Amino acid sequence: MNTEVKLHPSTELLNRFVQGELVTGKSVVVAAHVELCESCSAKAEELQALAVSSWVDPGNVLQPDQSSAADYSSTVARIVTYPQIKSEPIEDLVEVDIDVLNHSIKLPKVLAKAASQGLKWKKVPGGISEAQLFLDNETLCEFIYMAPGCQIPVHTHQGSESTLVLDGSFEDELGEYKTSDFIIRDAQHNHQPLSTEGCLCFAVLDSPLKFTKGLARLMNPVNRYKFKKAISRVA
Amino acid sequence: MYRNYAKQDVINNEVGLTVRLAAMNTTTPSPDAEDSVVSDEALLIAVGNNQDVDAFNQLFTRFAKKILALGMKLTRNEQLANDLIQESMLNVWLKAPLYDLDKGSAKGWIFTLSRNRCFDMLRKQKRQPNCISADDIWPLESGAEPTMVHEDIAGQQVELSVIEGYFDKLPDSQRAVVEQIYIKDRTHEEAAAHLQIPLGTLKSRLRLGVAKLRNMIGVDQ
Ligand SMILES: [Zn+2]
């Protein structure tokens, strides 16, 4: 079993990110890490340069459909009637701070934008609070705050979970994770995160959690329900 | 004086104007580009500075199939992929003045634009919430608009001769734009046309040049 701890997204994931192949939730969590991590930001730039240099005309198999090829000149004629944009629109700077215990945490820009319509925090047993974001219809995205000393019950994932540590730290059987770390967990991992100092994370799951030990197993139907609900909210 | 623009191609556009197009020293031309072939960058600059329809037509021809391929890969839907060509090329036209040749090739710029439009098209098609868009996920490195006015530097009460000394220390490309705006009193658009660079590049070089001047003035005082 590969138990390698990955604190950065893999090259493959970064590559799919720059190519635009990831679903929105995954794109957002990777983008937030890239915003916080200089080396991944540089790597993403290199990967994009590679994608651009290999962006070539397709072979004969793929042709623009005949009707639209014939329409190109009328398309161009229509396009060039629009006035051009002379300066970048000045965007309202969105800032979102999340207050925990005795300090407040400024979110990376992409998460601030995603959370700008407000977060509804819900307390769940064990000193954990969660706030969901609805970004697409394939993932469950949520901020998770673990109070100091709090532990999440042992669980595995049926799909994969990408977690970005935004503040503080937590640990599990495989290591310790600190601010800006990017962690991927999948069905192979059975883990029990523990945070001594408290921790704010943003997590994106592509299927529900499954608790594997003790009374927490009773929560599995709830997890499945929560996941379905998150998906149906946007569907 | 402007060593950046030493290599120039000449084309005639359809209204009979002679447009001298700048080749750039900042990006490497693609290996198959011959000297006689107008670069993507030159075409994009002609579109942004002169609303050159012929140059836009050429860009359309060069990129339609590439955009289609990208669209097919990401959407697996022929209709959407064909829509993407129009959507992306419309954005190329609209945003051509914002292209900054100091930040990358025209092909890279068009790739980014097409990928982002594709991402948003798919989100729209799947009726996903619009709290976030592709431009938030892949942000353009956006400096704020330069807001300085002439008084800014004058207000620092520095001898003009001192400023001129600093001015000479600027890199050529930045000195050229500062000269156009502050000495020749041209508008941004006039200066971009004169220097044959995109408006976006003019603004970013101006921002850098003025910041450097301010810095030098501040440091010496
Ligand atoms: Zn990283």
Lowest mean pLDDT among A152-161, B34-43, B47-56, B128-137: A152-161
Structure tokens at B10: 């000449």
Question: pLDDT at position B146, please?
Answer: 43
Quick one: DSSP state of residue B181? Answer: I
| A182 found inside a domain | yes
* Range among A194-208, B28-42, B55-69, B127-141 rated most confident: B55-69
| A193 found inside a domain | yes
**Residues A110 and A71 reside in one and the same domain:** no
Could you give the 3-state DSSP secondary structure of residue B84?
Answer: helix
pTM of the model: 0.80
- Protein residues placing their CB within 5 Å of the ion ligand 1: A 8, 37, 40
Tens of pLDDT, residues A49-82:
999 999 998 875 555 555 455 568 889 999 999 9
**Residues A15 and A121 reside in one and the same domain:** no
Please say whether the dihedral angle defined by the alpha carbons of residues A135, A141, A142 and A143, taken in this order, is positive or negative.
Answer: negative
Structure tokens at B53: 């329809």
**Residues A173 and A99 reside in one and the same domain:** yes
Residue ranges of chain B assigned to CATH 1.10.10.10: 147-217
Residue ranges of chain B assigned to CATH 1.10.1740.10: 37-137
| A86 found inside a domain | no
| A2 found inside a domain | no
**Residues A36 and A139 reside in one and the same domain:** no
| A5 found inside a domain | no
Long-range contacts of B184-191 (CB under 8 A, 24+ apart): B189/A86, B189/B49
Class of domain B37-137: mainly alpha
**Residues A126 and A172 reside in one and the same domain:** yes
A47 C-alpha to ligand 1 centroid (Å): 14
Which residue type does B65 have? K
Tens of pLDDT, residues A23-47:
999 999 999 999 999 899 999 999 9
User: How far apart (Å, rounded) are the C-alpha atoms in residues A150 and A27?
Assistant: 29
User: How far apart (Å, rounded) are the C-alpha atoms in residues A207 and A186?
Assistant: 10
Cα-based distances in Å from A214 to A171, A227, B34, B97: 20, 21, 70, 62
Q: Which of A78, A102, A117 is the last residue of a domain?
A: A78
Tens of pLDDT, residues A78-120:
999 999 999 877 777 788 899 887 889 999 999 999 998 889 9
CB atoms within 10 A of CB A128: 19
Q: Which residue has the tokens 């503080």?
A: A168
A7 C-alpha to ligand 1 centroid (Å): 7
Look up the domain containing A21 and give its range: 11-78
Q: Which of B78, B94, B137 sits opposite A27 (nearest CB)?
A: B137
Q: Which residue has the tokens 């068009």?
A: B110
**Residues A130 and A20 reside in one and the same domain:** no
Structure tokens at A129: 């609070």
Say which CATH architecture domain B147-217 belongs to: Orthogonal Bundle (1.10)
User: How far apart (Å, rounded) are the C-alpha atoms in residues A211 and A191?
Assistant: 9
Q: How many helices (H) and strands (E) does chain A have?
A: 6, 14
Q: Which of A47, A78, A109 is the last residue of a domain?
A: A78
User: How far apart (Å, rounded) are the C-alpha atoms in residues A139 and A124?
Assistant: 20
| A21 found inside a domain | yes
Quick check: B58 contacting A, CB < 8 Å?
no
Rg (CA), chain B: 20
Structure tokens at B73: 């890969």
